[in-house]
Amino acid sequence: MAGYNKKEEHAHAKAELHTHGEEHFREKHLMLDPLPRGQMNDMVMESMMEKPTWRYWLVFATLSVIVAYCLFYKWGVLIMYGQGEAGVMRPDYWGIFLVNTVFWIGISHAGTFISAILRVFRAEFRRPFTRAAELMTTFGLVQAGFSIFMHLGRVWLAYWLMPYANQRMLWPNLHSPLTWDLLAITTYLLSSTMYLFLPLIPDVAMARDRSTGWRKNFYKILALGFRGTEGEWTHLRNAMNIFAFAIIPVMFSVHTIVSWDFAAATRPGWSSTIFGPYFIVGALHSGMGAAAIVLAVIRATMKHMKYFIRGEHFDAIGKLMLIISMAWAYFFFNDYMVQWYGGDKWTQQLLHFHEAGPMGWMWFGMLICNIAVPWAILWNAKWRATPWLIATVGIVINVGMWFERYIIIPVSVTINRMPFTWRLYEPGIEIPMGIGTLALFILLYMAASKLIPLIPVWEVQEGQMAHEFKKFGRETVISVSELE
C-alpha cells in the first residue's frame, strides 16, 4: 500500500501499546485513576448514606440479639454466679477469656500496621483503607477490653488496678505484667482512637458540607470547625506524623507486654524468651487476615467501593499475609525447636501433649491454617487479587491463630510440674460470650459504616496528585512524587 510501511506500522502499534498500557495501569491502580474530588466525595457520601437494605437490617437485628443475649445477659450470669460458670479450674486458671483478649488485641495490631507502618514506609497502596483498618483497631480493642474484664473474679473492683490516690493509700503493683498490660492497653486504645480521629477530621468536614438534618449536626460537632486553613493542615499533618512514628513502638510494646503475661510465668511452655516477637508476628498474621475480610465485605456490600478498593489492594495484603505467615512459621519453629531440643522433662511432656493429646487436632489444625493454606494460595498473583479468595484465606488464618492462642493458654497450662493436678480444660460460658464479642465487633463496624465516611478521600486525592506516568526510554512507568 502506498504510504504504508513497516516503520509506520511499528510506530502505530507502539502508540496503541502505549495508550493501552496506560489504560491498563489506570484500571488496575487507584492512584493512577483520578476522578474529580467532588465526584469522589459524592461516591463516599452516597455509599455511607445509602438507605440500608432489608438485608442490612436483618443482619443488624440478628447481631443485636446475639450481643444482648450472648454478651450482656451471659455476662450478668457470670458476675452473678462467679467464674465457676466458665470452664476454668486448677490448673487452668486462665481460659478462653484470655484467648479472646489476645486474639482481639492481635487483630487490632493490623490496623496500626496499615495506618502507621505503611504510612511511615510510604506504601501508597494503603491510602484508601487506612480508616477501615483503624476502625478494626479501635473496635478490636473494645472487645479485648471486654474479654479481659470478663475473666476477673471480682470485676466490680477492677478500678483497684488503676493508679489513683485512695484512702487506703494503696497503689497497683508495678512488678506485675498485668499492671503493665493495663498501662500499655490504655495507652494503645487512647492513641489509636486519637489516630483514627485526626485524619477523620477533614473527611467529616466534607461530610458536614454535604449533608443536612441530624447528620449535618453530627458531622458539624465532630469536625470541630475545621476549614482547611494552612494552620489547621500544618498542625494536623504534624500531629499525624508524630502519631505515625510514635504509635509503632507503642504497638510493639503492647503485644510484647501481653506476651509477657505468659512469658514471665514459671510454667513449662510459657517461660519462653521468644514470646515477645512471636506474639507480635502472630498479631499481624491474624490482623492482616481480618483486614482482608473487612475489605472484601466492604467492597462487596457498599456502593462505589469497587472504585476505591481494587484487586491491587488485595494483592498487596496477600503479599503481606504471605510474608507474615513465613515469619510466624519461623518464630513458631524457633519456639518449638528450642523446647524440643532442651530435654526438660516437663517441656517434653507438654510438647507430647500438644501433638498427641486430646487437643492434638487443634495443634495440627493451627499449622495447616497458619502455614499450609497461606503458602498454598498466596504465591499466585492472580489469586491474591481475588477479594473473596483472600478473605477466605483470612478467615482460615484467623481460625488458625485462635487455635494457636488456645494451644498456648488452656492447653499448655494443663501440663505443669505437679502431675496430680493435670486436667483438661472444658469451656463453659466463655463460648457464648466470645461469640457475643465477635457479634459486637461486626455490629459496631456496621454502624460506623453508616455514620462516618470509610474512605479517607483527602488522602486518596493527595496520593493521586503524587502519581503520574513517566517515560523511561521507551517504557511508560509509574512515578510517585514525595509531596510531604
Partner 1 sequence: MADNISSAERSGSVSSAEPSGSVSLLAVFPDLMPAADALDQLRALGLSDDHMNVISGIPVTEAMLGRPSQWTNVPLLAAGGSILGFLAGAFLVFATPNLYPVPIQVGRQAFVPGPPTVVVLFELTMLGMLLSTFLGVFLDSYFPNYRPMEYVKEISDGKIAIFFICPEESRDKFTKAMTALGAEKVEVAEVEHL
Partner 2 sequence: MIRPEEIKMSTEETGKWGMVIDQDICTGCQACVAACAMENNISFVGEVDSGYGRSMHWIRIERFWEGEYPEVKMTAQQPMMCQQCGHAPCEPVCPAFATVHSQAEQLNLQVYNRCVGTRYCGNNCPYQVRAFNWRAYKRPEPLSNQFNPDVTVRRMGVMEKCTFCIQRIHKAQDTAKSEGREVVDGEFTTACAQACPATAIVFGRVDHPESLVSQLGQRANGVKHLEELGTLPHVTYFKGG
* Contact of 310 with 127, CB cutoff 8 Å: no
152 binding partner (options partner 2, partner 1, none; Cβ < 5 to 8 Å by kind): partner 2
C-alpha cell, 464: 493521586
The residue whose grid cell reads 496528585 is: 465
**Residue ranges in 82-101 that form contacts with partner 2 under rule CB under 8 A:** 82-84, 88-94
Number of residues assigned to the chain: 484
Binding partner selected for residue 205 from partner 1, partner 2, none, CB under the kind-specific 5 to 8 Å limit: partner 1
**SS3 assignment for 246-290:** HHHHHHHHHHHHHHHHHHCCCCCCCCCCCHHHHHHHHHHHHHHHH
Whole-angstrom distance, CA of residue 443 vs CA of residue 60: 7
Q: Does 481 bind partner 2 (CB under 8 A)?
A: no
Give the span between the Cα atoms of 133 and 290, in whole angstroms.
9
CA 415 – CA 128 distance, rounded (Å): 47
Q: Which of 241, 380, 421, 479 binds partner 2 (CB under 8 A)?
A: 421
Looking at residues 271 to 330 of the shown chain, list those that interact with partner 2 (rule: CB under 8 A): none
Q: Which three cell numbers stand for residue 64?
A: 443485636
329 touches which of partner 1, partner 2, none (CB within 5 to 8 A by kind)? none
The binder of 257, among partner 2, partner 1, none, by C-beta within 5 to 8 A per type, is partner 1
Binds 226: which of partner 1, partner 2, none (CB < 5-8 Å by kind): partner 1
334 binds, among partner 1, partner 2, none (CB under 5 to 8 A by kind): none
Q: Which does 238 bind (CB under 5 to 8 A by kind): partner 2, partner 1, none?
A: partner 1
Please, are residues 315 and 288 in contact by the beta-carbon 8 Å criterion? no
Q: Which residues would be at the binding site for partner 1 (CB under 8 A)?
A: 36-38, 41, 163, 169, 171, 173-175, 179-180, 183-184, 186-187, 190-191, 194, 197-198, 202, 205-206, 208-210, 220-221, 223-239, 242-243, 246-247, 249-250, 253, 257, 458, 461-462, 465, 483-484
Q: At 472, which helix (H) or strand (E)?
A: strand 467-472
Contacts of 9 (CB under 8 A, 6+ apart): none
Window of 147-155, 206-214, 227-235, 322-330 that interacts with partner 2 by CB under 8 A: 147-155
User: What's the closest the beta carbon of residue 326 comes to partner 1, in angstroms?
Assistant: 29
Alpha-carbon torsion, ordered 78, 83, 88, 91, to 10 deg: 170
Angle at which helices 430-451 and 54-66 cross, to 10°: 140
Residue 232 binds: one of partner 1, partner 2, none (C-beta under 5 to 8 A by kind): partner 1
Residues between 246 and 275 that touch partner 2 (CB under 8 A): 261, 264-267
By the 8 A CB rule, do 405 and 99 touch?
Answer: yes
Q: Fill in the per-residue mask, 356 to 375: x = in contact with partner 2 (CB under 8 A), - = not in contact.
A: --------------------
Helix axes of 457-466 and 37-49: crossing angle, nearest 10 degrees: 150
Residue with smaller CB distance to partner 1, 68 or 239: 239
Give the binding range for partner 2 (CB under 8 A) out of 64-72, 175-183, 305-313, 354-362. 175-183
Cell of residue 113, nine digits: 500496621
Which of 419, 473, 474, 475 is in the footprint of partner 2 by CB under 8 A?
Answer: 419
DSSP type of residue 427: -
> Concatenated DSSP letters for 38-102?
HHHHHHHHHHHHSPPPHHHHHHHHHHHHHIIIIIIIHHHHHHHH-GGGSS--SS--S-HHHHHHH
Residue 475, SS3 per DSSP: strand
User: How far is the C-alpha of 236 from the C-alpha of 123, rounded, in Å?
Assistant: 20
Nearer to partner 2, 105 or 222 (CB): 105
To the nearest whole angstrom, how small is the minimum distance from the Cβ of residue 80 to partner 1?
32
* 3-class secondary structure, 184: helix
Choose between 171 and 379: whose C-beta lies nearer to partner 1. Answer: 171
With CB under 5 to 8 Å by kind, the binding choice for 416 among partner 2, partner 1, none is partner 2
Binding site for partner 2 (CB under 8 A): 81-84, 88-94, 151-155, 157-158, 160-161, 170, 172-173, 175-179, 182, 261, 264-267, 413, 416-421, 423, 426
